[in-house]
Amino acid sequence: MSNPTHPRSRTCPVARPAGLLAPALVAALVLTGCSGGADSRPPGSKGTQAAPAPTPTWAAVTGKPRVIPAVRDFSPADGRGWRPSGGARIVVPAGKKSTLADEAQLMAQDLGGLTVVWGAKTVRPGDIEVKLTGKAGAERPDNAAARSTADESYTLTARGSRLTLTAPTDAGIFYGTRTVKQAVHAAGGLPEGTIKDRPDRPQRGMSLDNARKPFSADWIENRIKEIGDLKLNQFQLHFSDDQGFRIQSDTHPEIVSADHLTKDQVRRLIKVARSRHISVVPEIDSPGHLGAVLEHYPDLVLRNAQGRPVRGAIDISNPKSAQLIDSLLREYAALFTNPKGADAYWHLGGDEYQALMSSDPEAAFPQLARAAREKYGSGATIEDLATGWLNDREKTVKAAGKNRIEAWNDGFFSDGKVTADKDRTVDYWTGKEIGKRDPAAFLREGRNVMNFNDEYLYYVLGEPNQFTYPTGERIYRSWTPRVLRGTSPVDAPAGQTGPDRIPGARFAIWCDLSHAQTPQQVAAGIRLPLAALSQKTWNPGTPTMSWQAFKALADQV
């Protein structure tokens, strides 16, 4: 951009070659008249006072804002709306050191290289003004994860050729910038009027199995940016399983697979996620799915009564097992950092422990039954021992600073002597396991239940075990956050199924048959399901747009 303190010609500069811009943005810039600039002076003027910037002209933006997810409320007004124009700026009154700086700079980049100006500047025709409402947002750590949907709300007003974006926090500002970016891509700009928007569910995201199939750091970073543009705010990373352990380890380097992420790569991914207000949820699954670790610790592998090893299962009756897993939990809790004051997530796993998938666990694994009775008294079962195992692992990660703890639903048991910690979120994925429990039972217990419904939200490579690749259309048409299992809403009172009890959902990519798809095919296959998930977790009502129109819009934004 030209220096705004120097005179320049009346032609409108574009900061980047048109070939690098989205077609709709190029069209918007071509349609707009020159905004000139406050530095332009009438011919022959000898004064130093800048002349007012002329109002840019452009073809009116009509209809509703075209974005995914659809905005919750739009009040139209008479006018041309707003389009990015040559000479347009992003004005940030709070200054370059404010928590809004990175959001403003990202939006400037997304819109083709607009200039960002800081401090109390006059908002000129064509400009975007970005500011926080109230003091609460300014007091939060920069890029802190939202604590509620109110933190993620924003207001966008297109009026008189200017655009104003306000929000209580920088998280809300970020989502407003995503609306601007998408609207420009899809329709060239925003129609005249006011958008008031906020999500329905506070937790919305994607889970990636990077253990069975290694994905590159670049591929993961691109997915993080993709879900950020869709206003999803969580990224779960399952990096340890039977087939691989995929992050560098300093305490146990022997367990790390050849194809893995370095800690520096993980730190960059965390930084990128944080800049998009996405919380990273690390997962080291235990006491099952530990094959890659146990390959180097054969003395800790669970064995049945006949002495046969059980792949992936650790012997939770052996005190050395807890020592090993706790050392890993402490190491990676220190790697996956969070902004000061922000919620810090950790996923304990807890699913598919093979000892509990036996028809007679006590007979098949007598050492576990004996350890349960020794630790918890007469009548204690292997389920109690497994519950105690997760409770102890939760204490480890809490001591390391994590305060939002999750586990898979088949790691929770009823009517035992030992109860799962009350604050542990149930990640409900299946109702097919032995001793399966209806998700309503967890809600009645007062637990929060995160939706991972494997009927709609499980993308399992190779489609084993009767899985089929989920489609965006099916999610869009028939799934809601209340559909926790199967295809029907959970049978629970409305007071138990709101955002405070079912906080949201994640779409999960599992790589059971890792070579069934390339990373590029996975990215293509999950694109529309992620868009549909974004829509259904942001806006609780029945979509007003047809699936065909939604799909076409997803191709534009």
DSSP code string of 471-484: -HHHHHHH--TT--
pLDDT (mean) for 156-175 = 97
The packing angle between helices 319-335 and 382-399, to 10°, is 30
Is residue 56 in some structural domain?
Answer: no
The helix-helix angle for 547-556 and 519-538 (nearest 10°) equals: 120
**Sheet-wide strand order for 89-92:** 73-76, 193-197, 154-159, 162-167, 128-132, 89-92, 115-118
Give a yes or no: residue 140 inside a domain: yes
The answer to whether position 51 is within a domain reads no
Same domain, 220 and 311: yes
Boundary residue ending a domain (197, 224, 258): 197
6 has a pLDDT exceeding 70: no
pLDDT at residue number 10: 32
Q: What's the pLDDT score for residue 38?
A: 36
Is the pLDDT at 157 greater than 50? The verdict is yes
Local structure of residue 190 (DSSP, 8 states): B
Note whether 177 and 302 are same-domain residues: no
Q: How far is residue 395's CA from residue 389's CA, in Å, rounded to a whole number? A: 10
Give the model's pLDDT for residue 402: 97
Strand, helix or coil for residue 517: coil
Based on the fold, state whether residues 132 and 111 are members of the same structural domain: yes
Count each helix (H run) and each strand (E run) in the chain, helices first: 15, 18
Looking at the domain assignment, is residue 379 inside a domain?
A: yes
Alpha carbons 345 and 406: distance in angstroms, whole number: 8
Q: At 181, which CATH number?
A: 3.30.379.10
**Residue 318 sits in the same domain as residue 246:** yes
Residue whose tokens read 């969580």: 234
Residue 11 maps to a domain? no
Domain total in the chain: 2
User: How many Å apart are CA 125 and CA 122, to the nearest integer?
Assistant: 10
pLDDT of residue 144: 80
Residue 342, pLDDT score:
81
15 pLDDT above the threshold of 60: no
Q: 191-241: per-residue pLDDT in tens?
A: 999 999 999 999 999 999 999 999 999 999 999 999 999 999 999 999 999
Same domain, residue pair 284 and 405: yes
Domain check: are 401 and 548 in the same one?
yes
* Amino acid making up residue 105: Q
Task: Report pTM.
Answer: 0.91
Q: How confident is the model at residue 97 (pLDDT cuts 50, 70, 90)?
A: very high
Q: How many angstroms separate the CA atoms of 279 and 475, rounded? A: 23
Over residues 41-96, the pLDDT tens digits come to: 333 334 344 456 677 889 999 999 999 999 999 999 999 999 999 899 999 999 99
Question: Which pLDDT belongs to residue 17?
Answer: 36
Does 171 lie in the same domain as 151? yes
User: What does the pLDDT read at residue 133?
Assistant: 93
Which of the four pLDDT bands, split at 50, 70 and 90, describes residue 140? confident
Say whether both 163 and 207 belong to one domain.
Answer: no
| CA gap 52, 67 in Å, rounded | 33
Give the model's confidence band at 104: pLDDT under 50 very low, under 70 low, under 90 confident, else very high.
Answer: very high
pLDDT category, 443, cuts 50, 70, 90? very high
Q: What pLDDT is stored for residue 540 in this prediction?
A: 81
Which one of 129, 192, 352, 394 is the catalytic residue? 352
Q: How would DSSP label each residue in 94-111?
A: T-TTSTTHHHHHHHHHHT
**Quick one: pLDDT at residue 137?**
58
Verify that 306 and 447 share a domain, yes or no: yes
Query: Do 354 and 403 fall into the same domain?
Result: yes
4 closest CA partner among 47, 50, 63: 50
Tell me, what's the pLDDT at 18?
A: 36
Residue 263's SS3 state is helix
Domain-ending residue, one of 172, 197, 222:
197
Q: What is the pLDDT of residue 164?
A: 98
Same domain, yes or no: 88 and 108: yes
Residue 81 CA to its chain's centroid (Å)? 31
Q: Is 484 part of any domain?
A: yes
Largest CA distance in the chain: 99
Which whole number is the average pLDDT over 96-110? 96
Least confidently predicted of 105-114, 140-149, 537-546: 140-149
Phi and psi dihedrals of 206, rounded to 5? -135, 145
Q: Is 283 a catalytic residue?
A: no
**Residue 473 is assigned to a structural domain of this protein:** yes
pLDDT for position 541 = 85
Check whether residue 523 and residue 376 sit in a common domain.
Answer: yes
- Cα(471)–Cα(507) distance, rounded to whole angstroms? 11
10 within some domain: no
Strand partners for 115? 89
Domain with 345, as residue range(s), is 203-555
Those residues with Cβ within 8 angstroms of residue 445's Cβ, 6 or more apart along the chain or in another chain: none
Name the domain boundary from 139, 172, 197. 197
Q: Would you state the structure tokens that stand for residue 261, as one six-digit string?
A: 């992420």
CATH number for the domain spanning 380: value is: 3.20.20.80
| Length of the chain in terms of residues written | 557
